[in-house]
Amino acid sequence: MKTTKATKSTPVKPVAKKAAKKAAKKATATTGKTTGVTKKATAASKKVAAAKTATKKAAPAKTVAKKAAPAQAAPKTAIVESQAALVRRARRINRELAEVYPYAHPELDFENPFQLVIATVLSAQTTDLRVNQTTPGLFAKYPTPEDLAAANPEEVEEILRPTGFFRAKTKSVIGLSKALVEDFGGEVPGRLEDLVKLPGVGRKTAFVVLGNAFGRPGITVDTHFGRLVRRWQWTDETDPDKVEAAVGALFPKSEWTMLSHHVIFHGRRICHARKPACGACPIAPLCPAYGEGETDPEKARKLLKYEKGGFPGQRLNPPQSYLDAGGIPAPPLGAG
């Protein structure tokens, strides 16, 4: 019986052979497809390689284009110049600005050193215009250091409210007045080392007072001054004391005070922070940053501020030279 079963199972072998043949055909077909895909992939690879070769050959044209770009953006490129060349360019800019703003002056109203030091302290974080609109009421009520030193803080705060940070400013001006009375006989000192000891008085405030109340040269590094001297590449410093030192080395000491006025006037009127009126700038040929703002002359003229654009300046009581040049006084607080 075992032999019979073995004899009956032998026909299975031809079926296996047929299955093997079918599997071989499928494998051959698959191999053919794979070979076709491989050929297509190879052809695609050749095309990609050809494209890369073409790109490499064309690369010099792109490189030339990249090298040409800085020439168009040259105004924003750092100028390489000797110290002597920098001094000549800086002094020429100041001379040009002196011709444009012969009436440049401090834009805080004051009649004496005490009023100037108080006004300068109040000008922090606000405009000179707002200070000028506020100080008439302050000085009418407290005309001397003795008066302000003895003032009721709450009453002073109410007067100074329009200038912002009025509580801190009240503390500063009352403390400053007390220091003047107690340490300097009620007089504003005329020395830098004494001024910076007063509450709320730093080097910037001290130089404003020294230059404009005592006629002693000083450089006033405010936001306008710092912005412009960096645009002009006189220095890349951002610390006010370092800016003062770097710029001071470019000019005779006798020019420092008026230099400050020229630069600040220009920063407020033409070389604005966000939209410089490059097309209306008298020193455009000397400026490395030309092109950062509007270069079209007509559009640039529309950006001008203060007297050049027919708008009021910062002072309610400006110098006569400013009025003679077409300057317009600022309106008092609440006017208009």
Residue type, 268: R
Out of 109, 128, 169, 204, which one is annotated catalytic? 204
Q: 204 catalytic, yes or no?
A: yes
User: Is 324 annotated in the active site?
Assistant: no
How far is Cα 10 from Cα 52, in angstroms, rounded to an integer? 63
Helices (H), the chain: 2-9, 12-72, 83-100, 113-122, 128-141, 145-149, 153-160, 166-184, 192-195, 203-213, 223-231, 240-248, 256-269, 297-301, 320-324
CA distances from 54 to 9, 47, 61 (A): 68, 10, 12
CA angle (121, 123, 127) in 5-degree steps? 180
- Which residue type is seen at 297? P
Cβ atoms within 10 A of the Cβ of 308, count? 17
> Active site residue: 46, 178, 222, 324, which one?
222
Within 10 angstroms of residue 325's Cβ, the number of other Cβ atoms is: 13
Catalytic positions are: 204, 222
